[in-house]
Structure 1
Amino acid sequence: MEATLTTPTIPGAYWKWRGQSIYYLHAGSQQPQRPPLLLIHGFGASTDHWRKNVADLSADFDVWAIDLLGFGRSAKPDQLYSGDIWRDQLHEFITEVIGEPAILVGNSLGGYASLCVAAQRPESALGLVLINSAGPFTSNEPVRQPDPMRDTLKEGMKWLFLQDWASFLLFQYTRQRSIIRKTLEKVYLDKSAVTDQLVEDIYRPSCDAGAAKVFASVFRSPQGEKVDLLLSRLNCPLLMLWGEADPWMNSRERSIKFRQYYPQLTEYFLRAGHCPHDEIPEQVNNLIRSWALLSMEIPKPEASEKE
């Protein structure tokens, strides 16, 4: 079992972006010839989900973590949420706050948002680390024959989720602490990593005004640009970290697709679920550290060498 990392409390700050308050963390200091790291959480998570990574990585890098608009301690305005809005948020945060291009590290939804930045705002990204990254590929499945019953049911479900009352009821159900715990235990290989603190970190932002509408908006938003199209525009080092026990995605199948469109990537398959950075943080931190130093062609000092 992985040793438990110390997780010192790191004070956060707020950045005003397009009239909205955005929460972020900063640890470490600017390192000569070493780009900063920007950590981006997944759906329903926040900067709290990087508590086992920020302090450790800040020994070697200038480390930042941010709450996407609509999540964590950031504002939750009633608006359309999409990869484009988070892409712009991250790009402008790098430009205005960090002040230099960064290596973006994203988990799940945060991975997709990070890929959007690296592909569509390349001046902000020196490198990209995707951890069980979400995002749709262009479908190459043959068009199915019409099935009136199936198609009617599909349209009925789509209509249902567009109703405010239905999405509100679903939100109220999924935000219960017991349901959050059950969901996490399904997507974490090591159940002991699902702590009371982790459950509370995810539950707490769901109590904020506007959280229910954010939940509804994310599920109603049209899909963003397909991952294969984004990869065709990518021009920076890419590290893929896969938790193989993730029940939400078939990591081996997705790996093949990523390699098809970006064969020069580096990847590792890990004994973990959907969130390896939280479940096996030491392994993930070491892989990010080693890859970042190597991909940026930076000499690796003895102090940074970790078995």
Structure 2
Amino acid sequence: MSRSPQDRYYLWEYETGRTAKIRYRQSGPEESDKPALLFVHGYGGMLEHWNLNIPEFDHDRPVYALDLIGFGGSQKPRTRYRLELFAAQINAFIQYRQLEDVIIIGHSMGGASGLYYAHLNPETVSGLILANPSGLFGDTMDPMAKAFFGLIASPGIGEFMFAAFANQLGVSQSLLPTYYNQKKVDLRLINQFTRPLQDKGAVWSYLSPSRRPSDFTLEHLPRPCRYRNKAFLIWGAEDSALPAQKIIPEFQELLPQAGAYIIPKAAHCIHHDAHEAFNNRLRHILDNEMNV
């Protein structure tokens, strides 16, 4: 078991004749009778955002974390970013690592991507654990926010606003509302989220949700979706953007079998914001609810 897993890379052909370098990390034993865990970060995130979680679970099973294409340390080509693309990436990674038994743990956009993948490939997923997933919004976006996203989508204005916010100050202002424990938004976290914004192509991937919002929703999936195996929702009670009381019922229409757990004193970035409570709940799910 390695407590300091190294970055690994592989080339993924995301379109015919076009490849991107994808970053991931692997920890835990190579061989285990327990399902592998695959951690998938949210919008703007990266695999390091799981650093307070992965070490609690890699002592007896293989654990993987990857950077979605366009984010973190993965390449950021000019392509059409969407949940379908991320689901295809998850599929390619599972095939690349030859994972026959996997539990997907996804946060926010990573949760939506994991669910989309599980819907398309229900037989390949042993469990789905979604932490404050995005993709269903329950009409929670107020008119001001809709106007803001419309502005970003305007040619030229989006690039200007991206340049204005792609710095430590802009990142800190974006992160603070997603945390209940404001002390967690320290300089290390801010730098961690700022660094990928300087990469070539970042403007394209980071602006995609505002330019094509329909590409990042799960609204078109059937209710219930095709994935019928075990599923769980873990929600921060203080998530103002995706409030539990509005969004959990919508996800349970997609996943009627999903158990839901609400953790107090935690906002959108629940796994990092309240990492001990999140880890305890995740361990309870794995050990008692799933018996894996």
| TM-score using structure 2 length | 0.87
- The corresponding residue for 2:16 is none
**Which residue of the partner structure matches residue 226 of structure 2?**
233
Map of 1:283 onto structure 2: 277
Deviation, 1:228, is 5.7
- Trace 1:217-256 onto structure 2 (pairs within 5 A): 217-221=208-212, 223-224=214-215, 225-226=218-219, 229=222, 231-256=224-249
Shift of 1:252: 1.3
State the distance in 2 between where 1:135 and 1:219 align: 13
Contact kept? 2:138, 2:247, Cα under 8 Å: no
The DSSP-based 3-state class of the residue aligned with 1:92 is helix
Deviation at 1:154, TM superposition (A): 11
What percentage of aligned pairs have identical amino acids? 27
Give how far 1:31 is off. Answer: 5.2
In the alignment, residue 254 of structure 1 is paired with which amino acid? Answer: I
Query: In structure 2, how many angstroms separate the alpha carbons of the residues matched to 1:102 and 1:287?
Result: 19
Partner of 1:90: 90
Q: Distance in 1 between matches of 2:30 and 2:54?
A: 14
CA RMSD of aligned residues (A): 2.5
CA contact (8 A) 1:242 1:269 kept: yes
Cα distance in structure 1, aligned partners of 2:164 and 2:146: 23
Confirm or deny: 8 A CA contact 1:117 1:124 kept in the other structure. Answer: no
Deviation for aligned residue 1:164? 3.5
Off by >4 Å, runs of 4+ in structure 1: 153-160
Letter in 2 for 1:193: K
CA distance in 2, matches of 1:258, 1:181: 29
Say whether 1:194 aligns with 2:189.
Answer: no
Counterpart in 2 of 1:59?
59
Q: Distance in 1 between matches of 2:57 and 2:167?
A: 32
Query: Residues 222, 281 of structure 1: CA spacing in aligned structure 2 closer, same or farther, 3 A cutoff?
Result: closer
Query: Hey, what's the Cα distance between the residues in 2 that align with 1:116 and 1:73?
Result: 23
Letter in 2 for 1:290: H
What runs of 5+ residues in structure 2 fail to find an aligned partner? Answer: 14-18
Aligned partner of 1:183 in structure 2 is 174
Q: Which amino acid aligns with 1:237?
A: K
Matched residue of 2:59: which SS? Answer: coil
Residue in structure 1 matched with residue 106 of structure 2 by the alignment: 106
Give the paired residue count: 279
AA aligned opposite 2:285: W
- State whether residues 29 and 60 of structure 2, in contact with CA within 8 Å, keep that contact through their aligned partners in structure 1: no
Deviation at 1:72, TM superposition (A): 0.2
The aligned counterpart of 1:163 is 154
1:223 is displaced (CA, Å) by: 1.6
